[in-house]
Amino acid sequence: MKNLGMLVVTLFTLMYAAYDVAWAGNCSGLPDESQLKGFLAAAPGTGGDAGGLFHGNLMWAALVDRNGDLCASTTSTNDPTQVWPGSQAIAKSKAYTANAFSLDALALSTARLYTFTQPGHSLWSLGGANPFNPNFLANPQGNGGGKNQIAGGMIFFGGGVPLYKDGKIIGGLGISGDTSCTDHEIAKRVRNLASLDPPGGSLVDDITYSSVDGPSVFTHPLCPNTWRNGVFIGNEAAASGY
Q: Model confidence over 114-146: pLDDT tens digits?
A: 999 999 999 999 988 899 999 999 887 666 788
pTM reported for the whole predicted model: 0.88
**What is the rounded CA–CA span in Å between residue 23 and residue 42?**
28
Bridge pairing between strands 168-176 and 226-228? unpaired
Give the pLDDT confidence score for residue 16 in this predicted structure: 39
The answer to whether 96 touches 153, Cβ cutoff 8 Å, is yes
Q: Model confidence over 157-202: pLDDT tens digits?
A: 999 999 999 999 999 999 999 999 999 999 999 999 999 999 999 9
Give the pLDDT confidence score for residue 11 in this predicted structure: 38
Domains and CATH numbers, the chain: 29-234 (3.30.450.150)
Q: Model confidence over 229-239: pLDDT tens digits?
A: 999 999 999 99
